[in-house]
Amino acid sequence: MNFENAQYLKFLPAAVLPLIIYLIFRKKPDKLIFSSVYLLKNISEKVRIRTRFKDILLLLIRTLSIVALILFFAGPFKGEISSFDPSKRTVSVIYLDTSPSMSDEMNGSDKLTNASQNALRSIAGAEKNGIFYIFTSDTERKFKGGRSDAVKFISETERYGSERPFGDFLLLADSIFSSHNDVNKLLLVFTDGEINLDNSIAAEQDYYSRAVLFSSENEDDISIDSAGVLNGNELVFFLRSPSLNTALDVFADGQKIYSSPVEFTDRSTKPININAPSFTGPSLLINAQIKDASNISNNNYYLVIPRTESKNILIAGDTTSVTIKSISALINSENKSSLKTETADPKNLSSYRFEDFDAVFLTELPVVSSYLSSALKRYVSSGGSLFMTAGNNFNLNDYSSNLAPQLTLPQAEGYEDPGNSYFNIEISSPGHYIFKNVFDGNFKELSSVEIYTLYKFKAAGWNVIIKAGGYPLLIEKDVGAGKIMLMASGLEKTGSNIIENGIAVPIIFNTLSYLAGNEISESAVHTVGQKLKLDKIFAMVENSEQYYPGRHELSSEFLLQKEGFYNMIDPEGTILRTVAVNNEREKYPDNSKLLSEIFSDVIQSDEIDENTKLISPDKKLFSKHLLFLILILAAADIIIVRKM
């Protein structure tokens, strides 16, 4: 219960006035002396009871009359906001969540279908003169207009492969409402709660806001979260499932090259490695598909493997050390390897142009100048990969003053000495690329690997791949368009026995292949919602389509709308390159609780029926009821006074 004019409620204590007046002016009966009261005794008792009943009834009626009169002026109503006036035009700003998570199963279809049906029913039942602003997860798809066109817009809306920042939409809604005066203002959102919502966001409350939530019936969504290329000819797909198993089919240029069931056992993620076929064209188009009954959005992954030259790696360290010789011998022994190495003295790093290399491997960190730190920052930000170890010559002061601030590296808290013993290592991310074909994914600890020196780094925001003695040993983070891996110990004998240990050969080789191949996915794989730009004009044509001059749009940039393979074609019809476009892999938490704090009203979709009015707060006024009650009470007062 809410009130239009709540200030009148402060007069409610006046309801006790009838009682006060009654107590003040109540008369005591006069005493009369009779010779005999035998005949009057029964009559007197009946009159006394009747009079008391009349007084109590009148007292109650007059008290209720005062309360009803005060409530009448206060304007009680059932609803959420007092400024909503049924006599005014309503401006509705509507958000329909069309992101990938809305593909989850619900009521025999999916959440987006259910949300669209509710939106259609709500708009169709709204007043004819209402104004509707409609937005979706696609920032380019929006609507402003009347009821009939709004219904058509919702009917033609499809799922979209990414999610817009919800805070941007709230700011947009505030801007729209501020441009309208003397209207009802309604913010209506249809979502499953899995949206890009910041905890610091809050909606203005000078308008009515309602969110309708569509929950999944199960949590068994299986998806292909990512894919990569190792060493130029090996594919790895990372699949995720809460509990169910699936089957994976992989196609190369339309031909099936792999088909196998996938069992997740006790792990929710699983990497699948397969060999890519050789190809002679400019690129190889890979499409991976899984079977998933609960979600239809993340069942495909598109990947383009461009034909590339050998990857160049710069290895900095003592060229006479066992570490450098072992790594060089390792790469040279791999006949199929596309990696080429060049060794450098760390003291001469400033003379190298890092952009000429696909990865830079620093086996030790000597004195690092501000110039070198800036050069490494530019290299990583533009897409390069950097591996660093805290070896024998690790300079903590240079690291903290130059390198860490420039590259946003973790803070070093000092040195950890195991004493006369050593640290065993623990695998924190067994499904990582660098452990491919090294050991079983369930294997978490290696007691044969010994760490003798260890620097303690604060790994907040970094992916911890390996731990030693409970501390991060190998950590990873994407910086700009590139990647950085940091090892908290060295590869020399004084730091660890990694080089002498049996797992060093495949792990180091996989790490170098992983880092050098990082640029492949960046250049050929994109997500829905990104913009693709070139310095010259081109057309974006689906791989299965033929390019027709004049029919296809030419521009220097395109917003990627749907998943699949697309050819970038110049005006003359020459294919510049082929790119893959995937849906965004949403990792947003369920923000339903946060929505309940922001919105005036949050309801579950199963609480809605055909009679529910979502385009208004269903405001029910009680003024007429109170006026009728006041008249009834006044009439009752008059009748009782006259008849009794």
DSSP 623-643: HHHHHHHHHHHHHHHHHHHHH
User: What was the pLDDT predicted at 230?
Assistant: 72
Tokens representing 112 are 């987006």
CA–CA separation, 523 vs 520, rounded Å?
A: 6
| 30 within some domain | yes
At residue 392, does pLDDT exceed 90?
no
Question: How big is the CA angle at 141 (ends 137 and 145), to the nearest 5 degrees?
Answer: 120
486 or 494: which leads in pLDDT: 486
For residue 416, what are the contacts with CB-CB under 8 A and spacing of at least 6?
454, 455, 456, 469, 471
Q: What is the dihedral sign for C-alpha 320, 324, 330, 335?
A: negative
CATH number of the domain where residue 268 is located? 2.60.40
| 523 within some domain | no
Q: Torsions phi, psi of 497, nearest 5?
A: -110, 25
Q: CA gyration radius for the chain?
A: 37
- Characterize the bridge pairing of strands 423-427 and 445-451: antiparallel
Same domain, 349 and 398: yes
CATH number of the domain where residue 351 is located? 3.40.50.880
Instruction: Give the other-Cβ count within 10 Å of 615's Cβ.
Output: 23
| 524 within some domain | no
For residue 149, what are the contacts with CB-CB under 8 A and spacing of at least 6?
143
User: What was the pLDDT predicted at 202?
Assistant: 65
> pLDDT-based confidence at 436, cuts 50/70/90?
low
> pLDDT-based confidence at 327, cuts 50/70/90?
confident
Q: Which of 111, 163, 113, 114 is nearest to 138 (CA)?
A: 163
Q: How confident is the prediction for the chain on average, in pLDDT?
A: 82
Same domain, 19 and 72: yes
At residue 249, does pLDDT exceed 80?
yes
417 or 544: which leads in pLDDT: 544
Instruction: Give the other-Cβ count within 10 Å of 523's Cβ.
Output: 14
> pLDDT-based confidence at 34, cuts 50/70/90?
low
Same domain, 284 and 412: no
| 627 within some domain | yes
CA–CA separation, 93 vs 153, rounded Å?
A: 14
Strands, E assignment, 90-175:
90-96, 105-106, 109-110, 131-136, 142-145
> pLDDT-based confidence at 519, cuts 50/70/90?
very low
Same domain, 263 and 233: yes
Count the domains in the chain: 5
For residue 367, what are the contacts with CB-CB under 8 A and spacing of at least 6?
347, 395, 398
Beta bridge partners of 104: 295
- Which of 306, 326, 345 corresponds to the end of one domain? 306
Task: Answer yes or no: are the C-beta atoms of 581 and 564 closer than 8 Å.
Answer: yes
CA–CA separation, 293 vs 633, rounded Å?
A: 64
Beta bridge partners of 569: 539, 575
- Characterize the bridge pairing of strands 359-362 and 385-389: parallel
Specify the range with the lowest mean pLDDT, choosing from 31-35, 221-225, 399-403, 636-640.
31-35
User: What was the pLDDT predicted at 61?
Assistant: 86
Q: Which of 267, 277, 272 is nearest to 289 (CA)?
A: 272
List pLDDT tens digits, range 87-117.
788 999 999 999 998 988 888 888 999 999 9
Mean pLDDT of 568-579: 91
Same domain, 298 and 335: no
> pLDDT-based confidence at 518, cuts 50/70/90?
very low
Q: Is 67 helix (H, G, I), strand (E, B) or coil?
A: helix
| 469 within some domain | yes
User: What was the pLDDT predicted at 585?
Assistant: 79
* Single pTM value for the model: 0.59
Beta-carbon-side half-sphere exposure of residue 187 (alpha carbons within 13 Å)? 26
Same domain, 465 and 344: yes
Mean pLDDT of 196-219: 77
> pLDDT-based confidence at 276, cuts 50/70/90?
confident
Residue 144 identity (one-letter amino acid) = K
Q: What is the dihedral sign for C-alpha 576, 581, 587, 589?
A: positive
Q: Which of 45-54, 137-146, 209-218 has the highest mean pLDDT?
A: 137-146
- What does the CA dihedral 110, 112, 115, 121 come to, rounded to 10 degrees? -100
Which domain range does residue 603 map to?
Answer: 90-215+592-618
| 407 within some domain | yes
CATH number of the domain where residue 99 is located? 3.40.50.410
Same domain, 439 and 380: yes
Q: Is 190 helix (H, G, I), strand (E, B) or coil?
A: strand
User: What was the pLDDT predicted at 192?
Assistant: 92
Same domain, 348 and 436: yes
At residue 239, does pLDDT exceed 70?
yes
User: What was the pLDDT predicted at 437?
Assistant: 62
Mean pLDDT of 125-145: 93
Mean pLDDT of 561-575: 93
At residue 621, does pLDDT exceed 70?
no
According to DSSP, residue 31 is labeled P
- Which of 287, 306, 325 corresponds to the end of one domain? 306
Same domain, 192 and 274: no
User: What was the pLDDT predicted at 366?
Assistant: 63
Same domain, 500 and 351: yes
Same domain, 297 and 391: no
201 or 314: which leads in pLDDT: 314
- Which of 306, 338, 359 corresponds to the end of one domain? 306
| 239 within some domain | yes
User: What was the pLDDT predicted at 528?
Assistant: 93
Same domain, 196 and 288: no
